[in-house]
Amino acid sequence: MNAYQRIVTTLATLTTALSAFCAGTLSPSGSGLLPAEIVSHDVTVTINNGFAQTEVTQQFRNNNDSTVEATYSFPVPQSASLSECHVQVGEQLLEGEVVEKDRAHKIYEEEKNAGNNAAKADKNGYQDFRFDIANLKPQETATISFTYYQPLPIDTGVCRYVYPLQEGNTADEAELSFWTRNSRPSGKTSIRVILRSAWPVAAIRAPYGTPTAQTEDLAAGTADITYELADGLDRDFVFYYSLADNLPGRLEVIPYKKTGKMGTFMMVLTPGIDLQPITQGADYLFVLDNSGSMYGEKIATLVKGVVKTIEKMNPQDRFRIIFFNSSATDLTKGFLCATPENVSDTVEKLKKVRSNGGTNLYDGLSMALAKLDSDRVTSMIIVTDGVANVGEVRPEAFAKLMKRQDIRVFGFLMGNSSNWPLMRTICNVSGGFYDAVSNDDDIIGKIMLAKSKILHEAMHDVKVSIKGVETSDITNQCIPKLYRGQQLVMLGHYAKGGKATVTMETKISGEAKMYTCQMDFPEEELDTPELERLWALAQIEMHEDMVNQGIEPQAEKADFVRGIGLKYQLVTDETSMIILNSDAHSRHSVERHNQKRVRNERQAQSRRLANPVRNYRVDVPRKEAVSSDGDNSSQQRSNHMFTLPAPRIGGGGGAIDPWLLLIMGGFVAAAVCLPERKR
């Protein structure tokens, strides 16, 4: 075999390994052991008023002739709080409690070495959750169930839920070579989606599942659909639903509080302001990943999305395209006017782009931020699937870099196991917006969604205040920008129930605006105890951003994450879940905090399912919008966020159903709509 043939063989082998790197059971390579067989994999997803509960039940069988330790890997979903896990082995039920990571590992090793049944769950950074089950006997079957919660904001009338299975091709070569992986269940893989929306639903879509049972009343906002996944665990499951058109802008507050205890709330603000199209010159700056893990379908899909974007630009627009792998390359050699000739030449260059090398994101961003035109507003679109692993990789360096320019950043992460914390820091520092793109999702639709935001005014310096009720620990209370179609989701605490005034202050095209409404915080409300875990995870993410920006020391973050993980029973970078039977919990003096919390959550979930969907809207229609100087003109009133329909994509030429974002392969032409003026 010559050198060329050896290279081709090596690349083919690596590609096969990468393409197979999905959720599944693991066994050390070369050990002579088979990964545990996945007998069945069933998922129940309940989407209810702004957050989703995902419950996974998976059955394993040990087909080896010896007792083994079964390991299962599952990609970390965005903003997900893993909070419940139990394992059934024969007649024995093991239940999970969150303790310090070191303590969990010590207890697990002691139980494993003693030949007892035990399990543990760990968070492996932003990449995946790992579940280990000790002492699975030959031909023995175990059933593991775990539950996580995550917020699900709506963007431009569309809600998107992803059950992540593909691990994103971001594992390093050492990890790939260490594990033998099984991601194909021997039985069926099913996902049941229970949808409960307080607002009428126009349509639902799940492109990679076959419905086997279905009941729905979309006008009432409800659906119950079971899908079978033909690809097993090899492909993400993506579920969309779009709300009915012409819904009002609104303020929804979901509370949870026991009498005499600190309350928790989730506040969801959906602006109904018709943000206007912009009418001056636009620059579009694309920073695109063509590292080795973008091979095949992903790079082809990315290129197709960018091609569709620049082909729909106006001739007076300009674009610049930078690719990065181990280093950055300016494909367009600076900004180009979007003339037919320039677009055609660039399309041909894009079609020749190939993936290879590492991921030097910092180099790509540094090149992109150089030579900007101060007289034109520039919007940056970043698309990557990987982890910064070449050149500068410190998050605080990225934060410092992004503070050098006033630029709107829209970041998209393709696939799972990508560096969510880093992308969140990049976008938060710049007042930007970030989102996920499944490997099987439509990147064209996502870029289209970003372009709809670029083409319209944004709310600047958004600040929400609450008076009349003592509140604390609120997330996202002040954000630099809120874009067209974007919801503002805040989680916080309140001490006592009572009447409150909620005020949002912002600027639109430099003009100060203020919007208010009155609401009641209840002294007791027991329907949504899961909010406490969502609040805790949001606090962890906030502190993670502070560390990434160099505001808070890493050691302080570790202590904070450990404390909040223990209090709210979350699996974090500093805590793990030890899963034991009752006797073992007692033997190791593990307090049963999670058992009590899970019981409370399950009771509330049963109550919710037994009752009609609840609407948590609190704003009173026809409230007035006033300017900062107290002027209460008819023009100000016409912009009230609580009375006008929520914004739709279109910009002057009529509304375009956001459902098109999910199925269209390009942009819809609008009237002359260009990015907003700088303040």
pLDDT of residue 301: 77
488 with 266: CB under 8 angstroms? no
Question: Considering its fold, how many domains does the chain have in total?
Answer: 1
Higher pLDDT, 532 or 1: 532
Q: What is the DSSP string of 95-136?
A: EEEEEEHHHHHHHHHHHHHTT--EEEEEEETTTEEEEEEEEE
Kindly state the greatest CA–CA separation across the chain: 81
Residue 384: which pLDDT band, with cuts at 50, 70 and 90? confident
CA angle 87, 91, 93 (to 5 degrees): 30
Q: If DSSP states are collapsed to H, E and C, what string results for 181-219?
A: EECCCCCCEEEEEEEECCCCEEEEECCCCEEEEEEEEHH
Amino acid identity of residue 419, one-letter, is: N
Return the axis-axis angle of helices 297-311 and 340-350, rounded to nearest 10°: 180
d(CA 526, CA 284): 48
For residue range 84-122, what is the model confidence (pLDDT) as tens digits? 999 999 889 999 999 999 999 999 999 999 999 999 999
410 domain-assigned: yes
308 domain-assigned: yes
Helices (H) and strands (E) in the chain, counts: 15, 33
Residue 613 has pLDDT above 80, yes or no: yes
36 domain-assigned: no
pLDDT of residue 455: 74
Residue 176: which pLDDT band, with cuts at 50, 70 and 90? low
Dihedral angle computed from the Cα positions of residues 174, 176, 181 and 183, in that order, rounded to the nearest 10 degrees: 140
pLDDT of residue 306: 86
Classify strands 318-324 and 282-289 as parallel, antiparallel or unpaired. parallel
Reduced to 3 states, what is the DSSP secondary structure of residue 29? Answer: coil
Least Cα distance to 218 among 250, 241, 247, 237 occurs for 241
Tokens of 342: 């320039």
Q: What is the mean pLDDT of the chain?
A: 81
321 domain-assigned: yes
d(CA 504, CA 272): 13
Residue 578 has pLDDT above 90, yes or no: yes
Reduced to 3 states, what is the DSSP secondary structure of residue 479? Answer: strand
Tokens of 484: 């067209």
Residue 534: which pLDDT band, with cuts at 50, 70 and 90? very high
Residue 177: which pLDDT band, with cuts at 50, 70 and 90? low
Per cent of the chain over pLDDT 90 is: 44
- Tokens 């059950």 correspond to what residue? 163
Task: Report which DSSP code applies to 283.
Answer: E
256 with 529: CB under 8 angstroms? yes
162 with 236: CB under 8 angstroms? yes
375 domain-assigned: yes
Residue 174: which pLDDT band, with cuts at 50, 70 and 90? low
Amino acid identity of residue 412, one-letter, is: F
What sign results for the dihedral spanned by CA atoms 476, 526, 566, 533? negative
CA angle 363, 322, 290 (to 5 degrees): 80
Tokens of 524: 């007791």
List b or e across 602-622, with b for residues whose CB sees 16 or more CB atoms inside 10 angstroms: eebbeebeeeeeeebbbbeee
pLDDT of residue 444: 66
Residue 348 has pLDDT above 90, yes or no: yes
d(CA 426, CA 323): 18
667 with 448: CB under 8 angstroms? yes
Write the CA distances from 82 to 45, 148, 232, 536, 576, integer angstroms. 14, 4, 22, 12, 10
Residue 441: which pLDDT band, with cuts at 50, 70 and 90? low
395 with 421: CB under 8 angstroms? yes
For residue range 118-132, what is the model confidence (pLDDT) as tens digits? 999 999 877 788 999
Instruction: List residues bridging with 142 in a β-sheet.
Output: 60, 89
* 36-43 average pLDDT score: 90
Residue 626: which pLDDT band, with cuts at 50, 70 and 90? very low
pTM of the model: 0.81
For residue range 286-328, what is the model confidence (pLDDT) as tens digits? 999 998 878 777 788 788 878 888 887 888 889 999 999 999 9
* Interacting residues of 544 by C-beta distance below 8 A, sequence separation 6+: 421, 424, 557
587 domain-assigned: no
Amino acid identity of residue 291, one-letter, is: S
262 with 219: CB under 8 angstroms? no
264 with 257: CB under 8 angstroms? yes
Reduced to 3 states, what is the DSSP secondary structure of residue 513? Answer: strand
Which of 8-22, 305-319, 366-380, 556-570 has the lowest average pLDDT?
8-22
Which residue range(s) make up the domain with 313?
A: 282-455+648-663
32 with 183: CB under 8 angstroms? no
Assign residue 345 the CATH number of its domain: 3.40.50.410
Tokens of 137: 């006997």
pLDDT of residue 6: 33
Residue 173: which pLDDT band, with cuts at 50, 70 and 90? low
* Interacting residues of 352 by C-beta distance below 8 A, sequence separation 6+: none
d(CA 562, CA 578): 15
